[in-house]
A = this chain, B = another copy of it.
Amino acid sequence: MTGVTLTDVAQRAGVSTPTASRVLRGVATVDQQLKEKVLLAASELGYQPNRLARSLRERRTGIIGFLNVGSTAKFHTVLAQGIYDAGLENGYAVVTGMSDTTDRQQSYAQIFAGFQVDGIIVVPTSQSDPAIDRIAKHIPVVEVDRSASSVSRHSVLLDNQHAMEMAVDHLVELGHRHIALLYGVEQVNTELERVEGYLCALRKHGLPRREALMLGDDFSEAGGMRSTAKLLDSGVPVTAVLTTTNEMLAGAVQVLREREINVPEQLSLIGMDDTRWVRLMTPPVTVVEQPAYDMGKKAMELLLAAIDEKAGQHPAEIRFAPRLIVRSSTSPPPFDSL
């Protein structure tokens, strides 16, 4: 709120307000002399355009709403960085809302709409969000990381099926045949697709689907602990464990330690996302990595494209390829396993 207005600049330069506006925006052609006067006046006064007024007039704010989930996972942090960076590069500011609860998401949706944001990037928390649905009728919305399947929208996602397939392929190559999956029971597409990818891969390798090897729980550390305990207690033969999130992996690791089960000698382990702890663990964990930064950038770019050619182009679904990082938590299964 410097208080210096365009009119102040115009007066000092001895021109009309519209002329000053034209000079400062570099639009139309203005007399060289006047131009210099205006520029001088502007810099002398330390003029800073009021984007509120400009936006009101232009009916476009240059603000993007970003509705993130309240996660401290590195993935979501880096995703956000990609979004901010791509925004900055294209002259857009990002207002962020962070929440897991639907009512708060609604609050943010309202706030975003009130601020006349030009578009919204959302990491959906549930299958469908009426507030977002309503807004999406008026302004472009891009989903990232997850997809609320109820409505078809622009989305930037990981190729989740392939991610799990890579993990299973790796294990099968090592000789594993009893591969367990720890997954989150939340109804988000990432989980559904990862489970599906696991099953596909099993089929591909001619391995049977065994319910006892598929453990669903919260995708939290506690959920990982519970499902790992359940798996071990069940007594079914198992030589490798796959998790859909590193939260569950953390839980699994703790239970394995308590029970003094050696990784990878007795049990191989694969996680999702490459984070510091996964690297520094003993042993370092083999994981599937997501290109978080690129996904964030792409989401912003897709959104900006949708804003510009607001043509009714039908929803684009962009899938990013995961990458397998092999470390020491995976090895051939023990001899005596079956």
Identify the A interface with B (CB < 8 A). Answer: 1-3, 46, 48-53, 55-56, 59, 61, 63, 70, 72, 74, 77-78, 80-81, 84-85, 88, 93-99, 104, 107-108, 110-111, 113-116, 134, 138-139, 250, 253-254, 275-278, 280-282
Contact = CB atoms under 8 A, between A and B. Distances in A.
A114 B84 contact: no
A273 to B, nearest CB: 12
Contacts of A97: 84, 88, 93
A135 B116 CA distance: 25
Which 8 interchain pairs have the tightest Cβ spacing?
A277-B277, A51-B114, A95-B95, A72-B77, A84-B98, A52-B56, A282-B282, A96-B96
Nearest to A280: B277
Contacts of A253: 280
Contacts of A276: 250, 275, 277
A148 to B, nearest CB: 21
Contacts of A49: 114
Contacts of A278: 277
Contact of A51 (B72, B116, B275, B282): B116
B95 A108 contact: no
B281 A138 contact: no
A48 B81 contact: no
Contacts of A70: 81
